[in-house]
Amino acid sequence: MTTSPCIKSVNRSALIAFSPHGTLLAAGTRAGVVDLSFSSFSYLEIFEVDFSSVDRELVMCGRISCSESFNRLSWSESVSSSEEFEFGVVAGGFADGDIGVWNPKLLMSPGESKSALVQQLSRHKGPVRGLEFSSLKPNLLASSGEEGEIFIWDFAKPTEPTHFPPLKGSGSATHGDISFLTWNKRVEPILASTSSHGATVIWDLRKQKPIISFSDSVRRRCSVLQWHPDIATQIIVASDDNNSHSSRIWDMRNTMSPVRELAGHTKDAYALNNAIQLFVTPFIGIFQPNDVSGILAMSWCPHDSSYLLTCAKDDRTILWDTNSAEIVSELPAGTNSNFDVHWHPKLPGVISASSFHGKIGIYNIEVRLACARYSVGEDSETLKAPKWHQRKAGVSYGFGGKLVAFHITGPISKASEVDVHDLVTEHSIGSSSSEFEAAMCSGDRSLLRLLCEQKTQESESEDERETWGFLKVMLEDNGTTRTKLLNHLGFSLPAEEVNDTVQNDPSQNLSLSGLDRIEEAKEGFDNGEDFFNNFQCPNFVTEETAPVLEEPIAEHDLQNGNDDSFFDDAIQRALVVGDYKGAVAQCIAANKMADALVIAQIGGDSLWESTQVDNLKSFLDVLQLFHVVVAAMVNNDLASLVIIRPLKSWKETLALICTFSQEDEWTSLCETLASRLVTAGNTLAASLCYICSGNIDRTVEMWSKKVTVGHEGKSCVDLLQDLMEKTMVLALAMRQQRLSASLCSLIEKYAEILASTGLLSTAMEYLKLVDTENASPELVILRDRIALLSELGPVSPWPVPPPLVPTRCPCSCPWLPQDVTPTPPAPSAASPTLQTADVSNVPAQKRTVIETLTRLCNETSEALGGSHSVGAKRREIDDNSKKIGALFAKLNNGDISETAAEKLVQLCQALDHCDFPTALKIQGDLTTNYWDECSFWLATLKRMIKVRQNAR
């Protein structure tokens, strides 16, 4: 067996006594034993028990020589208010019958140790075998000797102790030498003594006489006894009889036979060990008792009454489980026996053992318990956690927003109470989720737009306001979405075109008024106005404004117009021969674009188109903003426009896409722009473009980055709530029917948060949106746990995913295509509620139950908010109606026993008189005795009574 490390030790053959606070230890040289140096001197020493020190040797704090060696040693708590005795007093029983009393404070003070002896008491005629201070009344000291008398000393004044008349018995059982005595740990005036001829006597100081006397059938010689730390009527008596060295637990209420016997020490080990010692060291046999074996000392653990230490002459120190009478562990075998053992008064699991080998050791018994786990086996019933590891109170978080707390009801009783509380750590998510669900439930896009408008106004962040604004635009009715988006981007149609645009394709009618000015302000290039002011245009005059030429233009005037112009001559020569293409080429070379367009119009369609292209190319050489737009419109090449437009003008680019793109290219153009914005690091603009494209996955990915890193001082839960609301609104706006993997993962996280706040039904509705193919194992487990906890019945096979409308009540969305909605199964019979339950067959004597509980349910509903209630309160009202309706159905069908029905009538009578304590008492009686038939409505009834009681 693995050895137990010795924490502290000192080489002494001495009895010990811990100070009441456990920081000091008194050691008195034991009578009849010598140390390894064969010294005949006797000392009383004080050692410091300092576990913070790495030194394994106990440090001596004081020492005084004594005339005699010790048979017993005891240390009391402070018995005086004076600081002189702040460490209490130490009493020692000598072999000559005297009792010495010392002040440990003086004993530890340098130069004052000689005055540490307070009193030398001489009352006993033989060796003092019994000596102990009372733990309940520390000023009382009991002592006994061979004459069979017990003296009670009062140390209220340590320097002037008094004593009571000696306790004497009248029967033969009380005669003879007393081998040990001890005070009761629970009842102050009770003490017990035992004698060498086998009698154990219980004394009552109030009566000054024995009240109980008993012995076993063979009258074994008794050596030591201990009171049970927790049970005042139980005591254990040990024997050092050579033929019967066991310990027996007795109960004073019945002393006919012992309650339990602890047998484990053997004399064979002692005989062999003693023979070896006599052979090796003959002197040791002289000083050790050689006519007896058996138990020499024992100590009952004050921290866990199921543990008992015993040491005997078989060289074993055993730790017992007193409940099962089994050996739990033992100290490692040494070369000699222990004769004294004690538990540390303050540190659970720490013990001391004094051996004939001349060593005082302090051990941690928990190391032995850990070793026993592997040597005895983990399945052993004796392996249990010590009581000092037991938590007297504790809490644990539970699934579904529950907090479980427990506490022990009494210091001795093993009973405990367990309370389950509803714990909501995120108060905002409940109310936000309820408002959000209300908007989702309606399926009305106008209500969803109102929700977006509300979120826009409530948002403190400009980014959030912009996001909700875009979501609102996406919810606009078909045919107006692009118009609303243009308005949101800051562009509007001329007033006279608005009505026509609503009826026609906006891509053909929308104009970008003001686009030039925006580009000018943002880009800083030459504006288009300067270009066209300097543009050479042909003179187009109307009939009304054309001037009347009074004289024909002279030919030489035309010929003299640009005589120096080489290009004019070349153009004219080309025109003369009808070479329109050459004339256009000369005009373009001369940068006369207007003239080139006029000539190209004469030269045919092919020349006209090629001239347009050349004209636009020349524009791009001069300006690279406005004319890029013109080129894209003419060439119908918006993809190139999106790629080359500057990203800081992304709103104008998006407006161009909105105005000129066709339906089949809208999504790709928006995603191209969004992708460029992501690369540039503009997350907000990218997410807005992804919203326009309807790419939910990419949009959620952009939004999720804020949840991961935190944003604007909000908690992750609030950010996840916002993310979920935006995602669901976007999914509804896009009319998406099946969920992607990323959206399923988001729903799973959100459902976990809803479940943790107690919103189980809401969490379940979201989980139902995920079909079997996309459900992860974690999501399946979460769904099953919610189903089992929220009384939603057994988990059914996964249903076909319904349209994406999370709600607690059936609702239809008018915009959902009917051909993609699965055909619902045939509805089952609706559960009865308070309003629908049939009560026509309820007997007259039970009609009061219907009336009273109906009134109670209505009053409870009003207290919870009535028709205006939402969220958890709404669910509680619905649950009350269902459970009470089920009760009414049971009464109507006669499924409630007569005794339970009578109790229910009495409960309702108490409610009619507003006697809520009586009603709750009757409800508790029903819970105890009629749970099997009434469990489905009892908890609901109790909840309603408490709500009604608090609403008064």
User: Does position 190 have pLDDT exceeding 50, yes or no?
Assistant: yes
Burial class (CB in 10 A: 0-12, 13-18, 19+), 906: middle
Return d(Cα 37, Cα 57) in angstroms, integer. Answer: 19
Q: What is the pLDDT of residue 144?
A: 93
Query: Of the given ranges (547-561, 601-615, 703-717, 845-859), which has the lowest mean pLDDT?
Result: 547-561
Q: Are strands 130-133 and 117-122 parallel, antiparallel or unpaired?
A: unpaired
- Look at 647 and 628; give whichever has higher pLDDT: 647
Each residue's pLDDT tens digit, 370-413: 655 544 444 444 467 888 888 888 899 888 888 899 988 876 55
Integer angstrom CA distances of residue 79 from 45, 76, 140, 141: 21, 7, 9, 11
Retrieve residue 598's tokens: 């006029």
User: Does position 22 have pLDDT exceeding 70, yes or no?
Assistant: yes
Q: What is the pLDDT of residue 322?
A: 94
Q: How confident is the model at residue 24 (pLDDT cuts 50, 70, 90)?
A: very high
pTM of the model: 0.54
Return d(Cα 820, Cα 803) in angstroms, integer. Answer: 9
User: Does position 432 have pLDDT exceeding 90, yes or no?
Assistant: no
Q: Is 298 helix (H, G, I), strand (E, B) or coil?
A: strand
Beta strands, E only, 374-513: 393-398, 402-408, 416-422
Q: What is the mean pLDDT of residues 330-358?
A: 87
Q: What is the mean pLDDT of residues 571-578?
A: 62
User: Does position 751 have pLDDT exceeding 50, yes or no?
Assistant: yes
Query: Of the given ranges (195-209, 258-272, 891-905), which has the lowest mean pLDDT?
Result: 258-272
Which residue, 186, 178, 93, is CA-closest to 135? 186
Q: What is the pLDDT of residue 934?
A: 81
User: Does position 540 have pLDDT exceeding 50, yes or no?
Assistant: no
Q: Is 8 helix (H, G, I), strand (E, B) or coil?
A: strand
Beta strands, E only, 76-124: 90-94, 98-102, 117-122
Q: What is the mean pLDDT of residues 31-49?
A: 82
Q: What is the pLDDT of residue 227?
A: 97
Do 737 and 803 touch, CB atoms closer than 8 A? yes
User: Does position 616 have pLDDT exceeding 70, yes or no?
Assistant: no
Backbone angles phi, psi at 909, to 5 degrees: -65, -40
Q: What is the pLDDT of residue 114?
A: 86
Each residue's pLDDT tens digit, 807-853: 333 333 333 333 333 333 344 456 788 888 888 888 888 888 898 99
Q: What is the pLDDT of residue 928?
A: 74
User: Does position 575 have pLDDT exceeding 70, yes or no?
Assistant: no
Name residue 319's beta-bridge partners.
309, 329
Q: How confident is the model at residue 435 (pLDDT cuts 50, 70, 90)?
A: low
Burial class (CB in 10 A: 0-12, 13-18, 19+), 806: buried
Q: What is the mean pLDDT of residues 258-264?
A: 91
User: Does position 543 have pLDDT exceeding 90, yes or no?
Assistant: no
Which residue, 725, 240, 236, 782, is CA-closest to 458? 725
Q: Is 147 helix (H, G, I), strand (E, B) or coil?
A: coil
Please state at what angle helix 605-622 crosses helix 580-589, rounded to 10 degrees.
10
Q: Tokens 């254990």 appear where?
A: 236
Return d(Cα 852, Cα 891) in angstroms, integer. Answer: 14
- Per-residue b/e over 225-263, b at no fewer than 16 CB within 10 Å? bbbbbbbebbbbbbbbbeebbbbbbbbbeebeebbbebe
Average pLDDT for the chain: 78
Each residue's pLDDT tens digit, 247-259: 999 999 999 999 9
Q: What is the mean pLDDT of residues 10-34?
A: 91
291 conformational bin, left if phi > 0, alpha if psi -120 to 50, beta if neither: alpha
Q: What is the mean pLDDT of residues 65-92?
A: 90
Instruction: Rank 741-750, 819-828, 930-939 by mean pLDDT and report only the highest.
Output: 741-750
Each residue's pLDDT tens digit, 97-123: 999 999 999 999 988 888 999 999 998
Q: How confident is the model at residue 434 (pLDDT cuts 50, 70, 90)?
A: low
Instruction: Rank 211-215, 528-532, 611-615, 740-744 by mean pLDDT and report only the highest.
Output: 211-215
Which residue, 731, 877, 814, is CA-closest to 442? 814
Which residue, 452, 426, 430, is CA-closest to 439? 452
Q: What is the pLDDT of residue 443?
A: 67
- Look at 164 and 563; give whichever has higher pLDDT: 164
- Look at 617 and 118; give whichever has higher pLDDT: 118
Retrieve residue 125's tokens: 């005629």
